[in-house]
């Protein structure tokens, strides 16, 4: 079977969509399928093309058996609505044109967000007359209204109509969580048309590193209790709660707690400036770190914060990072509601935090400090329930059925 996969993000980018797409596609290729990915020159989140790449009309490479076609886009950093929209629209056009040159495709997959990547899949379906499977990792445009990036307006109403048309055009939809499936079906989609394939983890890639002294020294945290947030620093993540909690400890004269904010994103500059103005020396912004370094950084943490604003929509989200943290047996302070919290508590991997509450964050830190890291687990749970190999094959089965090829090689 020849799978054509449209994704705005792909390694060497290290965000969740790039990782999910790569991990699935390399397994499908290893299973004997032909896999072609159409993506951009890597530039997320800064809008600067990575060293060794150029923003050309077309470039081809092979990555772990996957044919990767990189197309030209209007490059923009991960902030600024209009420039980002231009970036997304340019990808829709470029990827659709590139797809027309890919021969003998059995099934087309597009992953959203970003939203116009999904629409590239719709266009490819109509032009190439092949089955189309839509992967939904966020409910867009509802999410941009929820974080306050845009207000309800005629533009949003128009985008909502496009959203419904996109769902209608897909032969099948894969959502990353049950909450997403519920929201998709509330738009009038037949539940039989929607399957759930969650994110997961390859536990072999995430094992605890014994010696973390150099990491703690680098981030000025020797002898301290470290609570880290690791991931995208965006409007939805509500990381002001970290600064507020750090300020509480500062006023109490408690110098034993350090907060690491590991990663980058549109909201980092604003947060870092606020931390400096408030004199919060206990908050360390590490910047974006290589994925290969994550096991060492996670191992150096005494707890990891997973947080989103406490809105109804974000109760549907299952942050992919929880699976990696559970595989490392690091205590999770879970500032996200819904099914994601259920997974963490079932695994005995963390404690529940009230989203957006600095007081609750501090209380959770004290619970973890009192109980100790050894009281929390999760590795066996994710190995049993969220193994990346099993999940990739589950989605492959959906693609086979969608393409009419129920028996693969």
- pLDDT for the residue numbered 144: 63
Instruction: Please state whether beta strands 225-230 and 257-262 pair in parallel, antiparallel, or not at all (unpaired).
Output: parallel
- pLDDT for the residue numbered 246: 97
- pLDDT for the residue numbered 91: 96
Give the integer Cα–Cα distance in Å for 133 and 171.
6
> Could you count the other beta carbons within 10 Å of the beta carbon of residue 63?
16
- Structural domains in the chain? 2-200+387-403 (3.40.50.2000), 203-385 (3.40.50.2000)
**Residues of the chain whose pLDDT is less than 70?**
78-81, 141-151, 406-409
Q: Which residues contact 291 (CB under 8 A, 6 or more apart)?
A: 14, 19
Element (H, E) at 291: none
- pLDDT for the residue numbered 79: 66
pLDDT in tens, 259-268: 999 998 888 9
Judge if pTM exceeds 0.75: yes
Give the chain's end-to-end CA distance (angstroms, integer).
Answer: 8
Residue 393, both tokens: 């094959």
Residue 68, both tokens: 């990767």
**Nearest CA among 295, 341, 301, 300 for reference residue 322:** 341
| Partner residues linked to 135 by β-bridges | 111, 174
Positions of E strands within 22-77: 34-40, 58-63, 66-71
The answer to whether the beta carbons of residues 338 and 383 sit under 8 Å apart is no
- pLDDT for the residue numbered 408: 45
pLDDT in tens, 249-305: 999 999 999 999 999 888 899 999 999 999 999 999 999 898 889 999 999 999 999
Q: Which residues contact 294 (CB under 8 A, 6 or more apart)?
A: 206, 230, 324
Pinpoint the alpha helices (H) of 11-141.
16-30, 81-99, 115-128
Give the integer Cα–Cα distance in Å for 206 and 179.
27
Give the integer Cα–Cα distance in Å for 174 and 118.
12
**Nearest CA among 113, 143, 117, 150 for reference residue 132:** 117
């Amino acid at each position: 079977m020849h799978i054509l996969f449209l994704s705005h993000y792909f390694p060497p980018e290290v965000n969740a969509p790039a990782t999910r797409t790569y991990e699935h596609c390399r397994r499908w290729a290893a299973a004997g399928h032909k896999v072609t990915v159409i993506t951009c020159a890597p530039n997320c989140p800064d809008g600067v093309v990575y060293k060794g790449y150029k923003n050309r009309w077309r470039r081809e490479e092979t990555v772990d058996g996957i044919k990767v076609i990189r197309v030209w886009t209007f490059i923009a950093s991960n902030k600024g609505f209009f420039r980002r929209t231009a970036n997304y629209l340019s990808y829709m056009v470029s990827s659709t044109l590139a797809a027309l040159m890919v021969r003998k495709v059995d099934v087309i997959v597009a992953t959203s967000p970003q939203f116009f990547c999904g629409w590239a899949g719709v266009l490819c379906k109509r032009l190439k007359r092949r089955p189309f499977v839509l992967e939904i990792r966020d409910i867009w445009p509802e999410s941009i209204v929820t974080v306050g990036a845009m207000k309800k307006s005629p533009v949003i109403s128009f985008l909502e109509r496009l959203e419904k048309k996109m769902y209608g055009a897909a032969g099948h939809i894969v959502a990353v969580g049950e909450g997403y499936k519920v929201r998709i079906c509330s738009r009038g989609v037949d539940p039989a048309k929607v399957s759930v394939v969650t994110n997961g983890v390859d536990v072999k890639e995430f094992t605890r590193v014994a010696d973390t002294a150099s990491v703690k020294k680098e981030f000025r945290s020797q002898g301290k209790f470290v609570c880290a947030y690791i991931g995208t620093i965006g409007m939805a993540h509500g990381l002001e709660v970290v600064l507020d909690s750090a300020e509480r400890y500062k006023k109490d004269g408690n110098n034993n707690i350090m907060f690491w904010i590991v990663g980058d994103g549109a909201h980092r500059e604003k947060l870092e400036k606020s931390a400096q103005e408030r004199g919060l020396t206990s908050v360390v912004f590490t910047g974006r770190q290589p994925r290969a370094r994550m096991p060492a950084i996670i191992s150096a943490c005494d707890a990891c914060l997973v947080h989103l604003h406490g809105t109804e929509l974000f109760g549907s989200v299952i942050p992919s990072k929880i699976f990696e943290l559970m595989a490392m047996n690091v205590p999770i302070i879970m500032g996200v509601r819904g099914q994601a919290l259920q997974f963490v508590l079932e695994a005995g991997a963390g404690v529940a935090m009230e989203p957006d509450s600095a007081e609750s964050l501090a209380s959770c830190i004290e619970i973890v400090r009192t109980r100790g890291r050894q009281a929390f687990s999760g590795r066996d749970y994710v190995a049993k329930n969220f193994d990346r190999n099993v999940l990739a094959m589950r989605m492959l089965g959906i693609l086979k059925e969608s393409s009419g090829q129920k028996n693969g090689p």
